[in-house]
Amino acid sequence: MANPEYQESLDGVDKISVVIYRIGITLVSVSLLMIAVAELLCVLEHERAGFMRHLSIHVVAVAVALCAATIHIYDKNIRTLIVWSGWLGLVTFITLPAFDWLFVGFFFMTFSGVALKESYCFKIKGLTLVPLLLVLSVLVIWMKDAALLVVLTGLCGAIFAFLAFKKWQMPLHFDIGKKSNYQI
């Protein structure tokens, strides 16, 4: 996790990983908002609802892969939990596509980890509520309540959008912190 008081010199790989992570966070917000729109289209029985739902899940998968591959957290146990949730979600997404609540649950565990990690760096209202909202979203997916899913994912998407906006304003070294603090 970052320590903004300390400025580490970054090499090319560090810079690329931070940019990819920030793109991942941006895609998290886009994907959650896409889910909200897709579910709203389902509620309205729009003909494009199925396509939008399909597309939104694929954007979620890409966002998870980007965040899981490049998250910067000092503690290896916490980092492993967040990263492996994303990878398990991707494997489940590929092997068991009918169990959407299961792979989305793994994806949302990764997103929850990102939200909690970033809540230590930012005082963004609602960021600490994201894990609860995402857990509720998984339950709602399992129960197939599209109207409630619109609200939950829309709210989470808006919070992540604000986070992404703030992240892109920061210098890159804020995301890395002190390299010697990372457990390997």
Does residue 181 lie within any of the structural domains? no
Is 4 among the domain residues? no
pLDDT digits 0-9 by tens, 26-41 = 999 999 999 999 999 9
179 domain-assigned: no
| Strand, coil or helix: 11 | coil
How many domains are there within the chain? 1
DSSP secondary structure of 78-138: HHHHHHHHHHHHHHHHHH-TT-HHHHHHHHHHHHHHHHHHHHHH---TTGGGHHHHHHHHH
Compute the mean pLDDT over every residue in the chain, rounded to the nearest whole number.
92
User: Does 108 reside within a domain?
Assistant: yes
pLDDT at residue 32, rounded to an integer: 97
Q: What is the pTM of this model?
A: 0.91
Is 183 inside a domain boundary?
Answer: no
pLDDT tens, residue by residue, 8-64: 788 899 899 999 999 999 999 999 999 999 999 999 999 999 999 999 999 999 999
Residue 97 · residue 26 · CB < 8 Å:
no
Q: Is residue 3 part of a domain?
A: no
Confidence at 3, pLDDT banded by 50, 70, 90: low
| Cβ neighbours of residue 76 closer than 8 Å, sequence gap 6 or more | 182, 183, 184
Q: Which residue range forms the structural domain that includes residue 56?
A: 12-174
Q: Is residue 39 included in any domain, yes or no?
A: yes
Distance (Å, whole) CA 179 – CA 23: 22
Q: Is residue 110 included in any domain, yes or no? A: yes
